[in-house]
Structure 1
Amino acid sequence: MENEPILVGQASGTEQATFYRKTYLHVALALLAFMVTETLLIQLVPSDWIIAMVNSGQFFWLFLIGLFWVGGMLADRMAFAASRQKQYLGLGLYVLLEAIIFLPMIYIAAFYAENGGAILMQAALTTLGMFGGLTAAVFFTNTDFSFLRTILVVGGFVALGAIVAGAIFGFDLGLWFSIGMVVLASASILYQTSQIKDHYGTHQYVGAALQLFASVMLLFWYILRILMSRR
């Protein structure tokens, strides 16, 4: 039964295939929901408000980052709850949080950057291509990437500290920081895919989808920043 705590690595071939199909279907649906939500926000939120977000001081962005972090923790906990309804509410909440925090950058890319539409498309295709390649690397090499956990934890704290310091003291983190974050996001995809493959239960496909979606959006954020910085 779906609620039995069977690890994916110990499940039958049919159960594994069902789990993977549900997980990646939910990732795809989350990405689609993000695009729809972002489009609605751009149409419904007054442009003056969005520009105000872009021009807001460092303390506003620290507040927004803190709100995103707290909301993300809540969404993650809900996505692994026993109730399927709470799981979907958690995934939906995380999609909404991503759409809100992406709103200023997507707006600037779409309406102010030269060839903004092409930049967005290039960033999206690059992100999906990297995600597909990293996913294939985990499944085809059968490598356990659990060793990346420590690197991700340390790298995450260092990155958060740099972001907070940049916001407080008003300095740009630059291109190399974005490249480093692309590497960190790629490592996160490898780690999360490995965890899903070997350590998740067959009933945890919504939570698994949230983890992958979060890593994909982090990758997309910094690829888009890199492409925008080149214009």
Structure 2
Amino acid sequence: MEEFQQVAPVVSSLTDEKRVAFYKKTYTHLAMAVLLFVIVEWVFFQIEPLVNFAFSMTQGWRWLLMLGGFMLATNYAEKMAHKTHDINKQYLGLLLYVVAEAFIFIPLIGIAMMIAESGGGNILNQAAILTLSLFTGLSGVVLITKKDFSFLKSMLTIGFFIALGLIVAGMLFGFNLGLWFSVGMVVLASGSILYQTSNMVHKYSEDQYVGASLGLFASLMLLFWYILSILSND
């Protein structure tokens, strides 16, 4: 989980006008990150060797290698976005995170596109609608109630470590994690959205809107991944 370097008063202590302005900046940057993800994903799918390479990395131990690379890249991106006072580096961290997400999504989105082409319905649109609806509802709960969900941090950390262990075990011993694992990850991603939105309200300072948007984007994409996984396996 990210750390916070506060150089200004936390958002919850600001006037209503400044607090609303911070929320607007954060969600504007989140929307920009989602749009950039769509653009980068489209560009990636125009590069056939890159798509083939991404699909080849889903086999056996290569998936663990790809997952490890993704975690290193996103961890570095989070540090850039949260631990520097240089706005250019914060934006670079957000950009790196979006590109890393777009790359690791290539196989899953490719499968969804193949299902659509075979008459299985446009599950990409369905997953996007379900994800945005759930994200909006969960964020609304925090913004309306102003409840502090920081107590979820330890539970989320344990949950993510258990999930990572199951993923590694599944790859090493060749068993399918199945539908219920994806359902569990949707629950975990939902908790992460509550936690990240709560951080935006209670933990961040006025000038940390880029880091706040990255945290929300990470949780949103995790939710999208597992909702899309569930629909792809129906």
Alpha-carbon separation, structure 1, partners of 2:119 and 2:32: 27
Counterpart secondary structure, 2:149: coil
Superposed CA deviations along residues 16-67 of structure 1, whole A, max 9, x for unmatched, are 111100000000000000000001101113354344334x2x2111111111
Contact 1:5/1:202 (8 A) holds in 2:
yes
Q: Which runs of 5+ in 1 are unaligned?
A: none
Query: Which moved further from structure 2: 195-204 or 111-120?
Result: 111-120
TM-score for the superposition, normalised by structure 2: 0.92
Aligned Cα RMSD in Å?
1.5
Contact 2:182/2:227 (8 A) holds in 1:
yes
Shift of 1:116: 5.7
Superposed CA deviations along residues 149-185 of structure 1, whole A, max 9, x for unmatched, are 1110110100010011111111110000000000000
Shift of 1:112: 4.1
Q: Which residue of 2 aligns with 1:60?
A: 62
Q: Which residue of 1 aligns with 2:32?
A: 29
Alpha-carbon separation, structure 1, partners of 2:219 and 2:119: 26
Give the % identical residues. Answer: 50
- The answer as to 2:155 corresponding to 1:128 is no
- The answer as to 2:12 corresponding to 1:9 is yes
Amino acid at match of 2:178: G
Q: Which runs of 5+ in 2 are unaligned?
A: 1-5
Q: Which residue of 1 aligns with 2:77?
A: 75
Alpha-carbon separation, structure 2, partners of 1:48 and 1:20: 40
Amino acid at match of 2:133: G
Amino acid at match of 1:183: V
Runs (4+) of structure 1 exceeding 2 A deviation are 45-54, 111-117
Alpha-carbon separation, structure 2, partners of 1:4 and 1:53: 41
- The answer as to 2:228 corresponding to 1:224 is yes
Q: How does 1:1-231 map to 2 (within 5 A)?
A: 5-46=8-49, 48-54=52-58, 56=59, 58-80=60-82, 81-113=84-116, 114-115=118-119, 118-230=122-234
Query: Which moved further from structure 2: 213-222 or 42-51?
Result: 42-51
Superposed CA deviations along residues 100-135 of structure 1, whole A, max 9, x for unmatched, are 000011011112454466100000010000000001
TM-score for the superposition, normalised by structure 1: 0.94
Counterpart secondary structure, 2:53: helix
Q: In the superposition, relative to structure 1, how do residues 116 and 170 fare at CA in structure 2: closer, same or farther (>3 Å)? A: same
Query: Which moved further from structure 2: 132-141 or 213-222?
Result: 132-141
